């Protein structure tokens, strides 16, 4: 049975869709519709036959773009039908449901809470009490199936040899010897209130603490996170500490995943690097402020801790994180101490033998 998964949501959700892809690949070929930003994450993925790029906010915007993408869903090449029998709509949008319908996919499965549910041939309950990876995995369950996986779900990504080489080259150019212990910081987030403000102090503490002082620090993120990386570097220089390696904006997504595979631990906000680390099995300390792990987006790495100020009754205040604290105090991030994060890093980190 040929399947289609439509996943044009946030990049972290693309990563969390991979357990569903593995499940479907046991039944037959799997194609995925993804955005230009999300498609590179699935490069080389053994569960994926083809990735169909849907530039829904760019070249494929509007009805004409939707129709072009629908044709790509129907045909792999001139005269070669994909034979797609069933589409799984992984996000709760009307546009995704419409795309599957216009493409003529006979069976369309999505969440019962979706805006496009009227276009589905089968609806699946959206369970708010489980991890989002399990919610997505459950889309492939039939009415008579057990909807709980038999083992913990782990997302999977597959960096290429070139991705691993890019990560290695970046480290070598920074003077990092093979086998050096790495600790990775990811201080960024699209949403301002999800950015813990003490990464510079944490870098200082990691460099001074005998339990972590031997590690080299690496900062990852997109080009938009460059200012945060520079602030951490300036603080380290003022304090007389070794400068962290600034990898922001310098690595493709899968090369960042390859770098994380080398790391002893990742310290991150509730953002994409958290999910990249889960896919690579990297020990993770995840910092949650306006959001909470029970929304379904916590780390799935084998060794992970989630930190937050649990005493605040205002958490969570938003599904993603607002641009500013609705109450003006931002205590969900300001009250989380460097010492607490440092201890969590020591608890989870993978120490080279």
Mean of pLDDT values over 13-33: 98
Tell how far CA 167 is from the center of its chain: 18
Distances 118 to 101, 115, 137, 230, 266 between C-alpha atoms, Å: 11, 8, 21, 49, 42
Residues 2, 42 contacting (CB under 8 angstroms): no
Mean of pLDDT values over 145-158: 87
Residues 129, 115 contacting (CB under 8 angstroms): no
Whole-prediction pTM value?
0.96
pLDDT at 353: 44
pLDDT at 352: 64
Q: Which 3 state secondary structure label does DSSP give 215?
A: coil
The Cα–Cα gap between 139 and 17 comes to 10
% of the chain at pLDDT higher than 70: 99
Residue 205's pLDDT band, with cuts at 50, 70 and 90, is very high
Domains and CATH numbers, the chain: 2-140 (3.40.50.2000), 161-348 (3.40.50.2000)
% of the chain at pLDDT higher than 90: 89
Q: Is the dihedral of CA 254, 3, 86, 150 positive or negative?
A: negative
Mean of pLDDT values over 280-302: 97
Mean of pLDDT values over 1-7: 96
Mean of pLDDT values over 174-186: 94
Mean of pLDDT values over 298-305: 96
Residue 130's pLDDT band, with cuts at 50, 70 and 90, is very high
- 70-79, 95-104, 184-193, 241-250: lowest mean pLDDT where? 70-79
What tens digit of pLDDT does each residue of 305-343 get? Answer: 999 999 999 999 998 899 999 999 999 999 999 999 999
Query: Encoding tokens for residue 255?
Result: 């090369």
Mean of pLDDT values over 166-178: 95
The Cα–Cα gap between 315 and 308 comes to 9
pLDDT at 166: 98
What tens digit of pLDDT does each residue of 75-123 get? Answer: 998 889 999 999 999 998 999 999 999 999 999 999 999 999 999 999 9
Question: Helices 253-262 and 272-280 meet at what angle, rounded to 10?
Answer: 60
Mean of pLDDT values over 136-148: 86
Asked if residue 301 has pLDDT above 70, the reply is yes
Mean pLDDT of the chain: 95
Distances 103 to 4, 72, 98, 110, 172 between C-alpha atoms, Å: 11, 9, 8, 16, 48
């Amino acid at each position: 049975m040929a399947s289609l998964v439509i996943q044009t949501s946030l990049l972290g959700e693309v990563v969390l869709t991979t357990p569903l892809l593995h499940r479907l690949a046991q039944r037959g070929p799997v194609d995925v519709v993804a955005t230009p930003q999300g498609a590179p994450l699935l490069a080389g993925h053994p569960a994926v036959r083809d990735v169909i790029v849907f530039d829904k906010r760019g070249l494929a915007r509007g009805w004409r773009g939707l129709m072009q993408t629908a044709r790509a869903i129907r045909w792999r090449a001139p005269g070669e039908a994909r034979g797609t029998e069933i589409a799984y709509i992984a996000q709760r949008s009307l546009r995704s449901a419409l795309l599957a319908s216009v493409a003529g996919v006979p069976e369309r499965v999505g969440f019962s809470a979706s805006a496009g549910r009227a276009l589905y041939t089968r609806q699946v309950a959206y369970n708010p009490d489980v991890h989002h990876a399990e919610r997505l995995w459950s889309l492939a369950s039939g009415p008579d199936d057990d909807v709980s996986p038999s083992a913990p779900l782990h997302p999977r990504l597959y960096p290429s040899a070139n991705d691993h080489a890019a990560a290695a080259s970046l480290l070598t150019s920074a003077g990092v010897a093979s086998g050096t212990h790495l600790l990775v910081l990811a201080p960024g987030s699209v949403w301002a209130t999800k950015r813990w403000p003490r990464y510079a102090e944490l870098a200082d503490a990691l460099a001074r603490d005998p339990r972590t002082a031997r590690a080299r620090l690496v900062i990852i993120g997109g080009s938009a996170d460059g200012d945060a990386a520079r602030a951490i570097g300036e603080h380290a220089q003022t304090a007389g500490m070794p400068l962290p390696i600034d990898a922001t904006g310098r690595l493709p997504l899968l090369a960042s995943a390859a770098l994380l595979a080398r790391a002893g631990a990742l310290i991150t906000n509730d953002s994409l690097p958290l999910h990249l680390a889960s896919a690579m099995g990297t020990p993770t300390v995840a910092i949650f402020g306006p959001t909470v792990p029970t929304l379904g987006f916590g780390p799935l790495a084998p060794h992970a801790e989630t930190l937050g100020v649990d005493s605040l009754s205002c958490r969570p205040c938003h599904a993603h994180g607002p641009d500013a604290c609705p109450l003006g105090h931002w205590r969900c991030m300001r009250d989380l101490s460097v010492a607490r994060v440092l201890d969590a890093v020591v608890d989870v980190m993978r120490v080279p033998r």
